[in-house]
Amino acid sequence: MEELDSLSGKLLIAMPGMPDSRFRQTVTYLCGHNSDGALGIVINRPSEMKLGEVFEQLSLDSRDRDLANQSILKGGPVNRERGFVLHEASGSWDSTISICGNIEVTTSRDVLSAIAGGKGPRRALLALGCAGWGEGQLERELRSNSWLVVDATEEILFETPYEQRWAASAALLGVDVSRLGLQAGNA
């Protein structure tokens, strides 16, 4: 078996010909990748649900209207009821995994409580669900040209508007997605 370079901390950019409609025009941040598989969070598919609704469901009090109006992301088709908070490293939270550099993912309620109270990470996004790949699955999809891979930036993760993330992520590679065809191949 060939040696595997971890893609944790990278962005997967769906190619225009992506065969799985659930991932068309998505950007997925890879939280973990090893020989057993991969786990990521789609970072450009906002849902109708707002963070204020989540705070209300969890009986958390927040008076920050901008924060309450932040969209919850559709993080992927796996574990769609589970929340994942992707955030800059700050504080100490239960169930936190450091991914790459200054980026962490937390799945525990304490980080949401801190965010609601204005004491959490300054930059964060909440997603329901994640994307998962079994052993070798992501590697096969990469070989079939379903994805482009680029280093994640905090600007893409936390500052770029959701609807611009697909094109902006590809632009990091010098690629204009509007010029890509639906068919991919290997030269």
The tokens for 186 are 């290997």
Residue 2 pLDDT greater than 70, yes or no:
no
Mean pLDDT of the chain: 90
Q: Note whether residue 3 is domain-resident.
A: no
Count structural domains, the chain: 1
The domain that holds 87 is classified in CATH as 3.40.1740.10
Q: Note whether residue 47 is domain-resident.
A: yes
pLDDT at 90: 86
CA-to-CA separations, 167 to 23, 104, 139, 141, 182, in angstroms, rounded: 14, 24, 23, 20, 15
pLDDT at 182: 57
The DSSP output letter for 84 is E
Cross-strand bridge partners of residue 83: 128
**In the chain, pLDDT over 70 holds for what percent of residues?**
94
In 3D space, the residue among 175, 126, 124 whose CA is nearest the CA of residue 147 turns out to be: 175
Q: Note whether residue 165 is domain-resident.
A: yes
Q: Note whether residue 184 is domain-resident.
A: no
Q: Note whether residue 185 is domain-resident.
A: no
Determine the 3-state secondary structure of 178 from DSSP.
Answer: helix
Q: What is the pTM assigned to this prediction?
A: 0.91
Instruction: Determine the Cα–Cα distance for residues 94 and 76; give it in Å rounded to an integer.
Output: 23
pLDDT in tens, 125-158: 999 999 999 999 999 999 998 999 999 999 999 9
pLDDT at 163: 96
Q: Note whether residue 1 is domain-resident.
A: no
Instruction: Determine the Cα–Cα distance for residues 35 and 140; give it in Å rounded to an integer.
Output: 13
pLDDT in tens, 55-104: 999 999 888 888 889 999 999 999 988 999 999 998 888 899 999 889 99
| Out of 2-11, 47-56, 86-95, least confident range | 2-11
* Residues ≥6 apart with Cβ < 8 Å to 179: none
Q: Please give the residue range of the domain that contains residue 56.
A: 10-179
* Mean pLDDT computed over 25-30: 97
- Which pLDDT band, with edges at 50, 70 and 90, does 179 fall under? confident
Instruction: Determine the Cα–Cα distance for residues 80 and 177; give it in Å rounded to an integer.
Output: 28
In 3D space, the residue among 41, 171, 20, 43 whose CA is nearest the CA of residue 106 turns out to be: 41
Q: Note whether residue 187 is domain-resident.
A: no
Residue 161 pLDDT greater than 60, yes or no:
yes
Q: Note whether residue 4 is domain-resident.
A: no
Residue 3 pLDDT greater than 80, yes or no:
no
